[in-house]
Amino acid sequence: MGVLSGKQFSGWQRIHVEGLIITCLIGIREQELLQPQRIQVDIELVRREPDSPTNDNYGRVICYQAVVEKVRAMTSDSKIKLVETLAERIADACYADYPDLTSLNVKIGKPDIFTDVSMVRVELERIFNKEVS
């Protein structure tokens, strides 16, 4: 039996990058601006499943390696103060690279900011209005 075509069903592709740990300068407190700290980045990218099979064609998928490398580059010599700003920039970059996304979610946490808190985190979710064909 062959692969079902997209006309017989409707599905979603979800790409997850979870637990990306990056050490960078980010924050508004003096200590955060002087000493790099760890942040954890989690990203979910969602799009409709393509109408035809991927057939092992790299150009037809969301490249998680490219997403990770872009986030690393954004934080390497960043002058960003707020994790909210970083989340927005990550979201903007992902949507620019993959305009067929229907939604995305970016979480950025600081696991070491308080000794008695396991992590503080900001979460940004965007839902793009796409007509279903």
What is residue 95's predicted lDDT score, i.e. its pLDDT?
A: 97
Q: Are 126 and 96 within 8 A, CB to CB?
A: no
pLDDT at 3 over 80: no
Over the stretch 15-44, which tens digit does the pLDDT of each residue have?
999 999 999 999 998 888 889 999 999 999
Ordered by where they begin, the domains of the chain are: 12-127 (3.30.1130.10)
pLDDT tens-digit series, residues 44-73: 999 988 766 666 666 778 899 999 999 999
Q: Give pLDDT, residue 58.
A: 65
pLDDT at 6: 46
When pLDDT is cut at 50, 70 and 90, the band that residue 122 belongs to is very high
Given this model, what pLDDT does residue 79 score? Answer: 80
**C-beta separation of 40 from 83 below 8 A:** no
Give the per-residue pLDDT at 1.
36
pLDDT score of 42:
98
Q: Which of 46-55, 69-78, 103-112 has the lowest mean pLDDT?
A: 46-55
Closest to 13 measured CA to CA, from 125, 131, 94, 101: 101
- In this prediction the pTM is 0.86
CA 81 to CA 47: how far, in whole Å? 30
Element (H, E) at 48: strand 37-48
DSSP state of 8: S
pLDDT band at 104 (very low <50, low <70, confident <90, very high): very high
CA angle 85, 123, 76 (to 5 degrees): 45
In angstroms, the CA 80 to CA 24 distance is 10
